[in-house]
A = this chain, B = another copy of it.
Amino acid sequence: MVKEKGTPPARDGATEQRILEAAKTVFIRRGTGGARMQEIAEEADVNQALLHYYFRSKERLSEAVFRETAGRMFPAIIQILGADIPIVEKIDRLVDTYLTTMSRTPFLPGYIISELHHHPERIPQLLGNVAGGDLSDALRPAFEKLGKQLAAEARAGRMRRISAAQFVVNLLSLCIFPFAARPMLRAALGFDDDKFTKFIEQRRKELPRYIRSALRP
């Protein structure tokens, strides 16, 4: 049944998966426009024709990549935002989750920002992995919960008044932007890989207190 040879060709879904992984690498590195099917084929160590056999066209392949990568950004935040825990703990968890995620795939923010900038029609794909399929539907309950929490804290005099939207955008800005702007930091501050890593670890310690402090009444 299974053929045995010197260099055995991959069985079952392995080739397709390898192509998809190679495509992720190349699309994130070059962007959808700059990526070449040939480079993806080489990265996957297969022939270019095979890409079309499995994914039909560059367009479809890039969609698959975008869905698998960008679609993983929002579910995490939604889960934490809507959780039944105090605000300060949400801050801690969000900072930690985002910095950890970004550190593992540091080029992801640049890729997503770049793709959405040039292909706004892909925005709906951001929700691929969200239950129900409509992002705003999935976010709304989480935002409402967060908004009530923030209002309650403000009424109790424990926190300055701030809208849920501003709160979230501030937090995401502080966590994600340094990764998106990494090339600029390299140029401006001379951050090589090592310095950048240390810079991020410093942020992991400082950011929760920075954000809590910013919201003190």
Contacts and interface: CB of A to CB of B under 8 A. Distances in A.
A59 interface: no
Most-contacted residue by chain B among A33, A136, A170 (CB, 10 A):
A170
A135 B188 contact: yes
Interface in A137-180: 139, 143, 160, 162-163, 165-166, 169-170, 172-174, 176-178, 180
Contacts of A216: 213, 216
Nearest to A35: B33
Nearest to A163: B202
Within the oligomer, what is the number of copies of this chain? 2
A114 B184 contact: no
Contacts of A163: 202
Contacts of A30: 33, 118
A88 interface: no
A178 B187 contact: no
B181 A172 contact: yes
A118 B115 CA distance: 11
9 contacts: A31-B117, A31-B118, A111-B117, A123-B187, A126-B187, A165-B199, A169-B178, A172-B181, A173-B177
